[in-house]
Structure 1
Amino acid sequence: MDKDRIVGSAKEFAGRAEGAIGDLAGETQTQASGKAREAAGTVQNLYGQAKDAVRDAGEAAAGYAKDAYENSGDTLRDGSQALSRKVQDNPLGSLLIAGGIGFALALLMSRPARRPPPRWRYYG
């Protein structure tokens, strides 16, 4: 729990108490001061809650990243094993797919640069 949440809750409570005392005494200045203190406490409490939420989200993201880093070797190994099983099960299909990808890459790399169309000038 953040310090701002504790201080904000205390200010909010003090503002409510001050506003209640102002209501009982009939003093509008005390009522207004209590409402202002209550609002400031509410804002500070919300600020502390936001800081807590950001801190929790950061810790969760760090935990997910750490887990992903620790398990990345297993995932890569599982993927390569699954790919090798597919190639062993269907070698001709795998060869055709690899050839198609190579052909497409060769077409993309060997295309000439597009030139703008010629401009015709008519003199007349």
Structure 2
Amino acid sequence: MYEEQMKGRTESLKGQAQEAVGRFTDDEELRDEGRARHAAGKLQANYGEKLDSVREATVKNPISALAIAGGVGVFLGILLGRR
């Protein structure tokens, strides 16, 4: 598990705790902040998982990764060259 995943999961847990405290104290603003923090943490954890998948695929197949990067570069060059 990499850093982005850990940060995201930690933030998600903090959000859940904040939401629970908001529910317990009947503080709607705190509860909403907790929900937002929880959602942001889940997004960051998912981003970390995708990033890890890309890293692993790049390590296993460096030639394919290089070919894809080259294709994206050519596509962007054509797209931006038309302006």
More relative contact order, 1 or 2 (CA 8 Å, 6+ apart): 2
| Structure 2 partner of 1:112 | none
| Structure 2 partner of 1:46 | 46
Aligned Cα root-mean-square deviation (Å): 1.7
Q: Percent identity?
A: 30
Q: How does 1:29-40 map to 2 (within 5 A)?
A: 29-40=29-40
Q: How does 1:1-124 map to 2 (within 5 A)?
A: 1-62=1-62
SS in 1 for 2:9: helix
- Paired with 2:63 and 2:16, the residues of 1 have a C-alpha distance of 41
- The residue type paired with residue 29 of structure 2 is Q
Aligned length: 64
Structure ID, larger Rg:
1
Q: Measure how far apart 1:62 and its partner are.
A: 3.3
Q: Measure how far apart 1:56 and its partner are.
A: 0.7
Indicate the structure with greater helix content.
2
The question of whether the paired residues in 2 share the 8 Å contact of 1:2 and 1:51 is answered with: no
Q: Measure how far apart 1:63 and its partner are.
A: 8.9
The runs of 5 or more residues in structure 1 that have no matched partner are 65-124
- Paired with 1:47 and 1:62, the residues of 2 have a C-alpha distance of 21
The runs of 5 or more residues in structure 2 that have no matched partner are 65-83
| Structure 2 partner of 1:74 | none
- The residue type paired with residue 19 of structure 1 is E
TM-score (normalised: structure 2): 0.71
Structure 1's consecutive aligned runs of 4 or more residues displaced over 2 angstroms after TM superposition are: none
TM-score (normalised: structure 1): 0.49
For residues 34-68 of structure 1, the C-alpha deviation after alignment (integer angstroms, 9 at most, x for no partner) is: 0010011011101110100000111111399xxxx
